[in-house]
C-alpha cells in the first residue's frame, strides 16, 4: 500500500470552511483518513499561526489565543499528527502568516526526496507551493490537491498531478 502524507494549511482550510460552508467545523482526523482512502497515512501535518496578542492582551485576544491553544493541544494528541506553527507578521495594518508556507514546502520536499512517501495530499490554495510540488514530483511523488473554487490559483491547479474540490459531501462526512 502506498504511503501518503496530508499537508493542511490551517488558515486556508479555516477560511474556506467559514466562507464556503457557513463556519462549519470538521474533524481533522476524519478528514485526513478520508483524503487518504486507499493509501496508508504516514502522518498529517497541520500548519498555522497562533492569534496575535497585544502586551497586555485584550480580553478578546486572550480568549482567541486560549481557544487556539486548546485546539492545537488537541491536534497534537491525535495519532500521526504534527503541528507546525509559523509566526504572525505585520504588514501595514494587517497581520499575515510568516514561515507557514516555507514549513509546508520544506516538509513536502524533505519527505519526497527522503523516499518516505509515495503520495502527498495538500489542502491549500497558494501558488507559492509550485516549486516544492515540482520538486516532489521530480522525486516520484504523486501530488494531490484539495481546494475550494473560491480560493485557488490556476498555476497551483496545473502544477499538481490530481486536484479535487472540497465538496459539501466531503465536509458532511467530516463534520463535527
Tens digit of pLDDT for each residue in 119-132?
999 999 999 999 99
What average pLDDT score do residues 14-41 get?
96
Residue 109's pLDDT band (cuts 50, 70, 90): very high
What is the mean pLDDT of the segment spanning 166-174?
Answer: 96
| Under 8 Å between Cβ of 150 and 19 | yes
pTM of the model: 0.95
Contact 130, 157 (CB under 8 A): no
pLDDT (0 to 100) of residue 26: 97
Q: Does 73 score more than 90 pLDDT? A: yes
**Top CATH class, 3-174:** alpha beta
In this predicted structure, what is the pLDDT of residue 23?
92
Say if residue 53's pLDDT is above 90. no
Question: Is the pLDDT reported for residue 1 higher than 90?
Answer: no
Q: What is the mean pLDDT of the chain?
A: 95
Query: CB–CB of 23/17 below 8 Å?
Result: yes
Determine the 3-state secondary structure of 124 from DSSP: coil
Amino acid at each position: 500500500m502506498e504511503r501518503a502524507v496530508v499537508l493542511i494549511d490551517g488558515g486556508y482550510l479555516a477560511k474556506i470552511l467559514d466562507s464556503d460552508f457557513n463556519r462549519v467545523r470538521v474533524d481533522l482526523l476524519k478528514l485526513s483518513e478520508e483524503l487518504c482512502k486507499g493509501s496508508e497515512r504516514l502522518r498529517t501535518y497541520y500548519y498555522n499561526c497562533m492569534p496575535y496578542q497585544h502586551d497586555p492582551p485584550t480580553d478578546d485576544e486572550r480568549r482567541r489565543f486560549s481557544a487556539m491553544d486548546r485546539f492545537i493541544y488537541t491536534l497534537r494528541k491525535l495519532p500521526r499528527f504534527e503541528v507546525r506553527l509559523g509566526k504572525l507578521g505585520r504588514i501595514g495594518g494587517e497581520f499575515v502568516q510568516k514561515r507557514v508556507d516555507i514549513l509546508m514546502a520544506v516538509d513536502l520536499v524533505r519527505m519526497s526526496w527522503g523516499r518516505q512517501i509515495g503520495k502527498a495530499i495538500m489542502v491549500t490554495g497558494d501558488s507559492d507551493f509550485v516549486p516544492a510540488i515540482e520538486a516532489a514530483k521530480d522525486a516520484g511523488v504523486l501530488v494531490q490537491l484539495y481546494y475550494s473554487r473560491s480560493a485557488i490559483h490556476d498555476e497551483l491547479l496545473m502544477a499538481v498531478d490530481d486536484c479535487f474540490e472540497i465538496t459539501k459531501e466531503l465536509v458532511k462526512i467530516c463534520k463535527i
